[in-house]
Amino acid sequence: MAQDRNGNNHKAAGRSDGGQFDRKAGQGFDDDLDLEAVDARRRVFDAVVAGDDDGVDPETARRIRYAIRLTPDRDPDRVFADMRRNGVDSMLDRYVD
């Protein structure tokens, strides 16, 4: 896969569909989502945001709080959505009861 100067992914040259735009990471069907796992991760995330991070690795809690401080409007919902989109929300799985 190649990437142009605008950050768009293109299929590799030499293929019958080479040069065409390729899907970006995270695009596609959501039928493989485990909504119960996402809900459990969100509960852990919300607890960390509220300051109730007992049992959560201090580094993980620090990273979440830091990410919230970096967002322009300090919106936890945006941070959690970004975590899901980037695939790093699974780091909360070990804290799900």
pLDDT, tens digit (0-9, with 9 covering 90-100), for 47-81: 888 998 888 889 888 888 888 888 888 888 888 88
Domain that holds residue 87: 33-97
Query: What total number of domains does the chain contain?
Result: 2
Are both 21 and 61 inside the same structural domain?
no
The pLDDT, as a whole number, for residue 82 is 85
Do 77 and 49 lie in one domain? The reply is yes
* Higher pLDDT pick, 51 / 14: 51
- The first and second tokens of residue 8, run together, are 């768009």
Q: How far is CA 12 from the centre of its chain?
A: 26
pLDDT of residue 57: 87
Overall average pLDDT of the 80-84 stretch: 85
Q: Count of CB atoms within 10 A of residue 49's CB?
A: 16
Same domain, 26 and 37: no
With beta carbons less than 8 A apart as the criterion, state whether 10 and 20 touch. yes
**pLDDT for the residue 24:** 59
Same domain flag for 65 and 80: yes
* pTM summary value: 0.57
My answer on whether 23 and 40 are in the same domain is no
Q: Please indicate, yes or no, whether residues 43 and 16 belong to a single structural domain of this protein.
A: no
Report, as an integer, the average pLDDT of 26-40.
Answer: 62
Tell me: pLDDT of 28 over 60: no
Question: What pLDDT is attached to residue 7?
Answer: 67
